[in-house]
Structure 1
Amino acid sequence: MSAAALTVCGALAAACGVMPGTSAPSASTIKVMTWAPENTRATNMPGMPATARAYARWVNAGGGIDGRDLQVVTCNDTNDSSGARDCAQRAVDEGVVAVVGSYSQFGRATLPTLEAAGIPFIGGYGVTPIEFTSPASYPVHGGQPALMAGLGRQLADRCAQVTLVRPDTTAGDALPPQIDAGLAAGRRGPVDDVRAPEDASEYTAEARRSLTRARTEPGTGNCVAAALGERTHTFFDSFRRIRAGHTPVRVGSVIGSVDQSVVDRAGGASGPYEGALISAWYPVATDRRWGTMREVIREHAFEDNRVDPTDAGAQTTWVAYTVLKQVVESLDGGEVSARTVRRALDGGLTVGTGGLTPPLRWRFEDLLAMNDHPRIVNADVTFQTVRDGRLVAARRGFVNVSDTLEHSGRPG
């Protein structure tokens, strides 16, 4: 009977409390958590936990990480503070060694709990300031501050005036000063700030307002930027319907609000994103440096349409698990716990990501000299554009915006 029960459990792992693609907990298991909002009315990032599960299936098929199986526990933060707090508490209750490659707009509801338990937070999406101030946080990119500063720097070369359409939320309040820092570096004035609901079904009023400058000041090279997450497509759909008859306006956005799948759904080369300027953390999704990730998706997530290699959330989760893997390997067969993982990260371990980011290291001397975001260790961004319906590099290599962020003098 025991053998039969084990056979059933092996066939129906999820029913026995084990995520598909992971192994049952044991002394040689590394348990981690990835959380993100799913099935909400506003922001949803289902590709991040799905990517984490695919990564676990891949490494476990190859013998695990340094001989240990990787078990991934996932949690839906429901895009509210209560759900986020529940995910953080579950991470403590599950005894995970790290929270890896996750997204939440409610960092103040999660990171204090992780800090108290000594659990490291590796590779968050970077939408809340506490991700760049908490000693438990180990970001792999510069978050929204770097993206917005990079977008401002891009637009400054092309635009006399920029209008920014952004969520009317606490997280959205941080965006205008961040893009202003990039615009100021290009000797441009601050944005016209247009607030918008983050869960609207149409944005006609906001689109009309964003076009006001272009109508009253024709020929001055005005631009409209939108950073509304997955509602960015909804905004530009409204924008496209009413822009006819207006002075041509260049548009811009950031990766995460726009990716290749969004451009495709909007009509590709004939859609509103053609010619758009996009700021991103990583190389374009077609770059050969994403080859391993694409192969893993084909082999271990081929039936899961939530995993999109062009999605910045999935890419961030991949990079974060790359960090975790190298941290565990650096322990050379020793104890893997929240304490030893943090000690390795704080001790100067340098992590390579195959060129997807610069080498990452979280020593005190590697941190950005920025009061509001001192935990940033990677302020590199890439400049991309939509050409013939495809997201391509607008400039070779990375652009470092650390000076822009350090000298912004504005809250983020």
Structure 2
Amino acid sequence: MTGRRHTSIKRTFTALSAVVTGGALVAGCGLIPGATGGSGDRTVTVMTWAPEKTDATNMPGMPAMARAYARWTNAHGGLGGRRLRVLTCNDHDDSVGAAKCARKAADAGAVAVVGSYSQHGRAFLSPLESAGIPYIGGYGTTDAEFTSPLSYPVNGGQAALLAGNGRQLAERCARTVLVRPDTIAGDELVPLLNAGLAERDRGAVADLRAPEDATDYGGKAREALTTASSAGLGREGCVAAVLGERTNTFFDSFRRLRASYPAVRTATVLGSIDQSTINRTGGARSPYEGAYVTGWYPASDDARWDGMKRVIKEQAFDDNRIDPADAGVQTTWIAYEVLRQAVGSLGDGEVTARAVSSALDEGLQVDTGGLTPPLRWGYDHMSDAGDFPRLVNARVTFQRVEKGRLVATRKSAVDLTQTLAKAS
């Protein structure tokens, strides 16, 4: 990105933020409940949402983790002496449902939406912006989460994962096939993977669309294998499947055909699989053995997750929705740590939606214990990652499934800021 363009984006964000926070100030008269936050009774109200019980993507661990975090926080003195009240909402993986959740957050006086998942960014961000409510630590499934002045992402979202997966595969694959949902969100994955492949001058990915709610992918698996194997004798082809919850269904179909294509390697991203998925599907004998995997965070057995695991053990030991290896659960944990530090920075001041967003906008540096780099969202710290100015953490980790375990293939994380800038 040129310096002139970066400066222009900063000016645009400053102006838009003034409009958004100005609306919140008008709302201080009581017109918009989201701006008041219920701080008079020393209670901080927030919301966490995610899709549950749908035919496609389900993330029940995220609201479950949020509730466990609230129980743990309140059992240990609250947020600076304030009680944390967590509301949850099911967006049903639907744009109407996502907008309803956002309006419920405003009606309930939420000071933030924290650690949530939705594929419908435009549907929920508009009502949140109207109410002046910050969106902290979304899962990053849509580009809108990296452009809204009231969004505070903690990871690089699907953008970083796909670009990172492309970079990872560019070192190994003569040809790559991407199997992805036949949706608008799926359309956004292709140029990102291509940006990573371009780092090693690999050709464009072969784009294979698939229904995101299928119960069998036999035909798509055969097509992917055939295309990947056309890389030629002695040259590895790779199949990257990014189908969310249906990734496991795809690889189940894939494994039945793979023996006929020994030169084809597999790949995916965290969120589509995790360590528990590998364990559940056979460990070292699972269809993921040998797969290249790109993630946002350290591997789940890393000691930096010990704090989260203690909270789960203390408050949700028997809740099987909460898997500490799940990227959604991990994102929710990090997002609530951002909230804790933002509220802590306010001292004894009133906790409102505007106060929380102002703390984050004015340079507060959030320490996540090494799970991410230090996070800052001030306008002087906006990203150079092209069309993703709010993407302040563009780091990913490269992993591989070996003997049934996700292991790091590099000691340090890889920064994809420049790769994403080229994708734009």
TM-aligned CA deviation for residue 271 of structure 1: 1.6
Q: Of the candidates 41, 50, 56, which is equivalent to residue 64 of structure 2?
A: 50
Deviation per residue, 1:92-121 (Å, 9 max, x gap) = 100100000000011111001000110000
Q: Which residue of 2 aligns with 1:228?
A: 243
Q: Of the candidates 160, 163, 181, which is equivalent to residue 146 of structure 1?
A: 160
Whole-angstrom CA distance in 2 between matches of 1:74 and 1:193: 36
Whole-angstrom CA distance in 2 between matches of 1:247 and 1:356: 36
Note if 1:400 corresponds to 2:412. no
Pairwise CA RMSD: 1.2
TM-score (norm 1): 0.92
Identity of aligned residues (%): 61
Q: Of the candidates 126, 151, 156, which is equivalent to residue 137 of structure 1?
A: 151
Whole-angstrom CA distance in 2 between matches of 1:146 and 1:273: 21
Conservation of the 8 A alpha-carbon contact between 1:226 and 1:232: yes
Whole-angstrom CA distance in 1 between matches of 2:228 and 2:76: 56
Q: Which residue of 2 aligns with 1:9?
A: none
Q: Which residue of 2 aligns with 1:291?
A: 306
Whole-angstrom CA distance in 2 between matches of 1:206 and 1:44: 23
Whole-angstrom CA distance in 2 between matches of 1:291 and 1:398: 20
Q: Which residue of 2 aligns with 1:78?
A: 92
Deviation per residue, 1:330-370 (Å, 9 max, x gap) = 00111100010011010000000000000000011211124
Q: Which residue of 2 aligns with 1:173?
A: 187
Whole-angstrom CA distance in 2 between matches of 1:219 and 1:145: 31
Q: Which residue of 2 aligns with 1:62?
A: 76
Q: Structure 1 regions of 5+ residues with no counterpart?
A: 1-23
Conservation of the 8 A alpha-carbon contact between 2:384 and 2:418: no
Structure 2 letter corresponding to 1:247: P
Conservation of the 8 A alpha-carbon contact between 1:163 and 1:191: yes
Conservation of the 8 A alpha-carbon contact between 2:114 and 2:138: yes
Structure 2 letter corresponding to 1:250: R
Whole-angstrom CA distance in 2 between matches of 1:218 and 1:69: 63
Shift in CA distance, 362/214, structure 1 to aligned 2, threshold 3 Å: closer
TM-aligned CA deviation for residue 398 of structure 1: 1.1
Q: Which residue of 2 aligns with 1:213?
A: 227
Q: Of the candidates 262, 281, 285, which is equivalent to residue 266 of structure 1?
A: 281
TM-aligned CA deviation for residue 304 of structure 1: 0.8
Q: Which residue of 2 aligns with 1:159?
A: 173
Aligned pairs (5 A) from 1:375-386 = 375-386=390-401
Conservation of the 8 A alpha-carbon contact between 2:140 and 2:156: yes
Q: Secondary structure at the match of 1:211?
A: helix
Q: Which residue of 1 aligns with 2:25?
A: none
The alignment covers a number of residue pairs equal to: 386
Conservation of the 8 A alpha-carbon contact between 1:167 and 1:196: yes
Q: Which residue of 2 aligns with 1:119?
A: 133
Whole-angstrom CA distance in 2 between matches of 1:273 and 1:89: 40
Structure 1 letter corresponding to 2:377: W
* Runs of 4+ displaced beyond 3 Å: none
Whole-angstrom CA distance in 1 between matches of 2:418 and 2:362: 26
TM-aligned CA deviation for residue 406 of structure 1: 0.9
Q: Secondary structure at the match of 1:407?
A: helix
Deviation per residue, 1:46-76 (Å, 9 max, x gap) = 0000000010011100010100010000000
Q: Which residue of 2 aligns with 1:238?
A: 253
Conservation of the 8 A alpha-carbon contact between 2:385 and 2:418: no
Whole-angstrom CA distance in 2 between matches of 1:247 and 1:48: 38
Q: Of the candidates 218, 236, 249, which is equivalent to residue 264 of structure 2?
A: 249
Shift in CA distance, 332/383, structure 1 to aligned 2, threshold 3 Å: same
TM-aligned CA deviation for residue 214 of structure 1: 3.9
TM-aligned CA deviation for residue 371 of structure 1: 4.1
TM-aligned CA deviation for residue 26 of structure 1: 6.3
Note if 1:277 corresponds to 2:286. no
TM-aligned CA deviation for residue 392 of structure 1: 1.3
Which shows bigger deviation, 171-180 or 361-370? 361-370
